[in-house]
Chains A and B, each alone.
Chain A
Amino acid sequence: MESGGFDFHIVFHSIPFLAKGMGLTLLLTVLGIAGGLVFGTVLALARLAPFKVLSFAAGTYVNFFRSMPLILVIFWFYFLVPLVLGQEIGAFQSVLIAFIMFEAAYYCEIMRAGIQSVRVGQAYAGEALGLTYPQNMRYVVLPQAFRNMIPILVSQAIVLFQDTALVYVVGLSDFLYSADIIANSENRLMEMYITVAIVYFALCSWGQFQVRNLQKKFAHE
């Protein structure tokens, strides 16, 4: 590098800009988790439902998205959403839809494992009490399933947080892309990329630490 040596001043000067990028990353993560969870739960219920057509459709959906790379999914939706809606809605919305659709497939598999981890006797007991299928799910199975799943759901949230860096390919100013803009305009690639790596590492390690605490907490009970 022509300028030579490390110069982390540029990092301090660009903190407001980077913070804005991190805001977008976190917003995308939170909305992606929320949407993915809701849609993933619906998919999991459909997959375990006693109707063949429903479970087949949900299974197909999950296998389809799980065999596609996220970048390709982002490209698909980036071009597809405006066409389907017939109007431009901006990159953020397109990417968010892509994330929700993609992550839902993974959340569905986690949910399914969680629901199946609830002992069959519980569901039978619910039925014996005269609960309908939706009531049984709502009051007996799902509350217990969610408890079992919490650590792995948080792990998946960390994965999603890391995956949001891929919006780089459509030029959305998330944390990585903001840093990239400064890195290239100031010719400070080294400092910016190392900073980005450290920030991601710190946040994800903190998340992992929480996962371990949760696992310990649930193992004791």
Chain B
Amino acid sequence: MMRGALRVGLSVVVLLGLTGCAGDFRYNWQWSILTCTSENIDAGCIGPYFYWILQGLWWTIAVASAAWVIAFSLGSVIGILRTLDKPILVVVPFVKSPIYFRTRWIGTSKGIITVDVGWFLHGFANIYVTVFRNVPLLVQLFLWYFVFPELVPHDAGMWLKRDLPFPEVSTAIFCLGLYTASRVAEQVRAGINSISRGQQYAAMAIGLTPVQVYRYVLLPVSFRIIIPPLTSDFLGVFKNSSLALTIGVLELTAMTRQIEEYSYAGFEAFTAATVLYIGVTAIVMGAMRIVEARVRIPGMISLQAK
């Protein structure tokens, strides 16, 4: 982790150096504005820029973390649904069919009508992933923020527009969570599918129910396998939270833009934001490496190789 931090530090220095040397780059650096803690015109502080940046960082972390909770829980469920390949038959009560018929999702057996719920769940999960992956996140954000309140019943729409606490932030969290869930679902599915079929058959052979097969055999292994791609999805949430500035969430990038507008010292603010984003990335990557090492199953080659 120390080496990682050193690398990050070095890279910042190198890149800043490069930008400084390029062409006839004339820019009057005023690093002092980043330390503005109160309004002080003489020192070039029209606002408490230092606190703005901290506040922006706080909102970035808050939005990203909350969105990740939604993304991880929903994404896991949808990913699992996408791996279901056996029918889950549910008997329709009180209704008997005089004729025999059978389709992919509904059929009869001795007059009793059964519906394959698994087919619906599987289909829903597939549609969910397709829709959320194939529409740009920014468009999704606008749909949730501007269009969704108009589509729901009138009272609910009014509540969304008037009484929802922190409307911009809540919408951003919700939207980012649902979007990232589709990515998490793909990782979870890939993780489960990467486990050899033999494991599943062995679990069934010793008498585990389908739920137990997932709970005790498939999920514990697959979640360990997908830690690296999940880490990059988690970092993706941090980066994507910057899109929330378009609907008025004052997160880190929005704050730097605001400082640029107030002070014309944009590069200082952008640099601060860049360093903070890189810092968040480095911390998350370091933490996930520790988690990965902690939960490693001894003797599992596929995990040690990564």
Contacts and interface: CB of A to CB of B under 8 A. Distances in A.
A1 B150 contact: yes
B134 A67 contact: no
Contact of B23 (A69, A85, A193, A208): A85
Interface stretch (B46-54, B165-173, B217-225, B252-260): B252-260
Nearest to A64: B11
B200 interface: no
Interface string B1-39: 000000110111011000100111111000000000000
Interface string A136-176: 00000000000000000000001000110110110000001
Of A72, A158, A176, A189, chain B has the most CB atoms within 10 Å of the CB of A72
Interface stretch (B91-99, B137-145, B205-213): B137-145
B78 to A, nearest CB: 17
Contacts of A196: 139
B128 interface: no
A176 B139 contact: yes
A129 interface: no
A80 B11 contact: no
B270 interface: yes
A60 interface: yes
Contacts of B12: 64
Contacts of A1: 150
Contacts of B27: 83
B277 A72 contact: yes
A80 B19 contact: yes
Contacts of A169: 245-246
B138 A208 contact: no
Contacts of A165: 136, 138-139
B159 interface: no
Contacts of A190: 146-147, 150-151
A32 to B, nearest CB: 14
Nearest to B278: A67
A67 B235 CA distance: 8
Interface residues of B, number: 53
A200 B142 contact: no
Interface in A70-127: 70-72, 75-76, 79-80, 83-86
Nearest to B151: A190
A75 B257 contact: yes
Contacts of A86: 23-24
Interface stretch (B80-88, B112-120, B236-244, B296-304): B236-244
A190 B147 CA distance: 5
Interface string A187-208: 0011001101100110011001
Nearest to B138: A165
Categorize the interface residue count of chain A: 35 or more
Contacts of A14: none
A69 B146 contact: no
A71 B243 contact: yes
A213 interface: no
Contacts of B134: 158, 200-201, 204-205, 208
B7 A84 contact: no
Interface in B101-158: 130-131, 133-140, 142-143, 146-147, 150-151
Contacts of A132: none
Contacts of A168: 138, 246
Contact of B11 (A60, A70, A83): A60
Given A169-B246, A189-B146, A190-B147, A176 B138 contact: yes
Contact of A201 (B11, B135, B242, B243): B135
B273 interface: yes
A166 B243 contact: yes
Interface string B273-294: 1100110111000000000000
A12 B282 CA distance: 49
Contact of B239 (A60, A69, A201): A69
A72 B150 contact: no
A70 B239 contact: yes
B266 interface: yes
A165 B273 CA distance: 22
Given A60-B10, A64-B11, A201-B135, A79 B147 contact: no
B273 A72 contact: yes
Nearest to B142: A193
A184 B274 CA distance: 33
B138 A189 contact: no
A197 B140 contact: yes
User: Nearest 3 A-B pairs (CB), nearest first?
Assistant: A67-B281, A204-B134, A69-B239
9 contacts: A64-B15, A69-B242, A75-B256, A76-B270, A79-B267, A165-B136, A166-B243, A197-B140, A205-B130
